Structure 1
């Protein structure tokens, strides 16, 4: 069964196309299951849309949910449409997000760390002038936040867990094996999955998130995996799904998962 759990659309301000465009692209790509998972609003912020080019307005959240549910019904029998969301994880504001999600019939939630120390993980300038010790400190802080997101109980999937390398490929060489291993242990203990996210191919790093090395360690610790293209244009839906499946089998994985009504569905590779 071919699936893709990570897609965006115009509401986030930096993706092209409507939700329906992505569903149709999923059908064209041979998917049986597509998850819609646009960026969460900044629920904690007093402004409705403090960052128009990054996340949807809080006032659009209900419209987003209702549109996905409508399209779920419209395309029933052709493709299974799942209601998801890529939710920012800010530990100091976690309660605002919990309250916003109460009663929403999500199939799954992706928890993603997009900021460390108030700076975007994709900001190239964060690395300028940092010595080795401070670089390690940044990487450690990143993985501590990912661990905390796994412990929070809010999420089914953790998004792109080494995406800090996106515009700084040297990130992968910063020696932090013990921090990554501890994070993977925490993820496994809390029954959360990680995604293989193929959008790294659109960034400077030119590869998937996470690296093969991290996937090998994830297998060792018993972490479940899923797939997400992180498509911001409809043409990328399902991008490199077959390559990811083949690579996971080479690494030694026997299965991967997706989610329906917050319950894990296991599929053999």
Structure 2
């Protein structure tokens, strides 16, 4: 059973290819279940499409849902197509996002912290001229938001939970946030959701997956489930490094990983 829950397409404005391109690539890669999970609109913004290069327009969201459901039916028997979305996590807007998603039959929702204190987690300039003690504060704040996202009970999967290292590899070495990381992982286990092993980190400056092995070891310790996501923004990356991740999880000690169908966990032995 081979699955990939994290894929994007051209609607978000920074990925290439249609949804069907990703489905076809998944079939070629021997994927059994492919999750379509493009970036959520900015539901709380007054404009319909405030950031065209980052996420789809709010008015486009129903069309996205309809296309995935059409392709799910079209490819039935060849590959299982799962309806997902990668949702931003904004604590102040959580109920608006919850009500927006309640209208649709999602198989799963990925919750990702993409901004802290109003700045993208991928903005390497946020670290320039920042005092060392403030580095720890930023890391603690980031994992507190991740803990809150787990406790919101809106998401089945938490996306790329150490992606701040993507363009700032030293993030992984910032000490002093161990308690916050543990609390986030405890929340994942407590709420019976999962973190993803996201292989797109290998395309960034950090050159490795999200999260680190150390975090995966803590996740296993606390009984948090894991899933797989390539975070593909080009169709050719669907399922990228799946077998390597499977092997590494087995080495760490995981016995299973999961994907979601109609928001219910499907357990897959490793």
Same fold (TM over 0.5): yes
Q: Secondary structure at the match of 1:24?
A: helix
Q: SS of the counterpart of 1:93? A: helix
What residue number does 1:28 align with?
28
Provide the secondary structure at the position in 1 that maps to 2:228: strand
Q: How far is the alpha carbon of 1:131 from its aligned partner?
A: 1.4
Q: CA deviation at 1:187?
A: 1.4
Q: Which residue of structure 1 lines up, in the alignment, with residue 186 of structure 2?
A: 185
Could you tell me how far 1:49 is from its partner in structure 2?
0.6
Name the CA distance, whole Å, in 2 between partners of 1:145 and 1:179. 10
Could you tell me how far apart the structure 2 residues matched to 1:170 and 1:66 are? 42
TM-score (norm 2): 0.99
1:92-131 superposed matches below 5 A: 92-131=92-131
Provide the rounded CA distance (Å) in 2 between the counterparts of 1:186 and 1:83. Answer: 24
Residues 92-241 of structure 1 aligned to structure 2 (within 5 Å): 92-175=92-175, 176-241=177-242
Distance 2:89 2:51 in 1: 16
1:78 aligns with 2:78: yes
- In the TM superposition, residue 178 of structure 1 has moved relative to its aligned partner by 1.5
Secondary structure of the residue that 1:82 maps to in structure 2? strand
What's the offset of the Cα at 1:95?
A: 1.5
Measured in 2, the distance between the counterparts of 1:261 and 1:35 equals 12
Cα distance per residue 1:205-243 (max 9 Å; x no partner): 000000000000100000000000000000000000000
Tell me how far 1:56 sits from its aligned partner: 0.5
SS in 2 for 1:107: coil
Give, in whole Å, the separation in 2 of the partners of 1:190 and 1:134: 30
Q: Map Cα deviations across residues 142-177 of structure 1 (whole Å, 9 max, x no partner).
A: 000000000001000000000000000000010121
Other structure's SS at 1:188 match: helix
5+ residue gaps, structure 2, are none
Partner of 1:254: 255
RMSD: 0.5
Q: Secondary structure at the match of 2:227?
A: strand
**1:165-197, CA deviations, whole angstroms, 9 ceiling, x for partnerless residues?**
000000001012121111111111111100000
- Residue of structure 2 in register with 1:264 after alignment: 265
Provide the secondary structure at the position in 1 that maps to 2:267: strand
